[in-house]
Amino acid sequence: MTMYGSFPGARPRRLRTNPVMRRMVAETRLHPADFILPAFVLEGASEPVPISAMPGVVQHSRDSLKKAAAEAVAAGVSGIMLFGVPEESKKDALGTPGTDPDGILQVAIRDVRAEVGDDLLVMSDLCLDETIDHGHCGVLDAQGRVDNDATLERYAEMAQVQADAGAHVVGPSGMMDGQVGVIRDALDQIGREDVAILAYTAKYASAFYGPFREAVASSLKGDRKTYQQDPANARESLRELALDLEEGADMVMVKPAGPYLDILARVADAVDVPVAAYQISGEYSMIEAAAEKGWIDRDRAILETLTGIKRAGAQNILTYWATEVAQKLG
């Protein structure tokens, strides 16, 4: 006699039976418009310079940066976040290249705007670490500590020259208290109310920034633990979030992405503005290194990490794979 009812009535596996079924019921979908491409431009470079700690990523020349921007547009990527790397001899205690209209970042902004116009959001890193001789994100006081309020004055100037160069969005990444409010005031004072601020709201003092230091030729000695967030803390991210929104942030970001998906989810649940996450250099390099060893499937790992970041609540993702993944999705 055949017995019925001895097996489970609910079988979730029915919704996993083939690729079309899995695609139809997918709760999270990646789209080229989700992505923002971080890009480095090296002053004086005649051709791209490979970054050894980030296989496949380069310090661009001005010409190769314009090509990368055009490729991003063709792939459907939404934005490009620019980091300028000045000649070492031009770095000083004030980060002067950061406010020089002819500094490499401002030149790069103008180059990319001339190449792609409004077809790609041109975003600019607003921080002193690439341009300052000691490598910190702000100017130092007499005791060698980062001077928050003196740094804000420099950030205000940087915001204005970046806006004048053509940035659609500025991204203050230095984690100085009050930076969003000062930058908003500085932009409004020159009639650039149209320039948006992507606030680095939760930026943690992470070990995963290592490869980035090579990418921007960082001069940093020591660490940034006195102004970037402690990886042990979560609640203070929501405090930073409230302050940034009060000061006028248009978008907010969590950085790094992968190790802080819990923070990303909490931020996304708390706001009604766009939320971004930055899949940083160490996250990129770990996957590339493991794939090179044959330990993981590179393409699957890339898509899995990006899907996890979006599933946690990121509307936009800064990733060095932006163009590559957008091309495959498209």
Side chain identity at residue 41, one-letter code: V
Verify whether residue 203 is a known catalytic residue.
yes
Question: What pLDDT digit, counting tens, does each position of 305-325 carry?
Answer: 999 999 999 999 999 999 999
Q: Can you give the pTM of this predicted structure?
A: 0.93
Verify whether residue 328 is a known catalytic residue.
no
DSSP assignment letter at 87? -
Tokens of 241: 């979030």
Question: Span 131-157, mean pLDDT?
Answer: 88
Q: Helix 62-75 to helix 104-116 angle, to the nearest 10 degrees?
A: 40
Element (H, E) at 25: helix 19-25
Question: What pLDDT digit, counting tens, does each position of 239-284 carry?
Answer: 999 999 999 999 999 999 999 999 999 999 999 999 999 999 999 9
Question: Span 133-156, mean pLDDT?
Answer: 88
Question: Span 159-179, mean pLDDT?
Answer: 96
Side chain identity at residue 216, one-letter code: V
List, as one string, the DSSP characters of 155-206.
HHHHHHHHHHHT-SEEEE-S--TTHHHHHHHHHHHTT-TT-EEEEEEEEB--
Which residue out of 225, 255, 310, 328 is catalytically annotated? Answer: 255
φ and ψ at 273, to 5 degrees? -110, 160
pLDDT given for residue 220 in this prediction? 66
Handedness of CA 324, 302, 278, 136 (dihedral sign): negative
- Tell me: pLDDT of 219 over 70: no
The separation between CA 132 and the C-alpha centre of its own chain, rounded to angstroms, equals: 20
pLDDT band at 216 (very low <50, low <70, confident <90, very high): low
Question: What pLDDT digit, counting tens, does each position of 42-80 carry?
Answer: 999 999 999 999 999 999 999 999 999 999 999 999 999
Q: Return the closest-CA partner of residue 158 out of 132, 133, 194.
A: 132
Which residue out of 66, 203, 221, 225 is catalytically annotated? Answer: 203
Mean predicted lDDT score pLDDT of the chain: 93
pLDDT given for residue 6 in this prediction? 64
Contact 176, 214 (CB under 8 A): no
pLDDT band at 287 (very low <50, low <70, confident <90, very high): very high
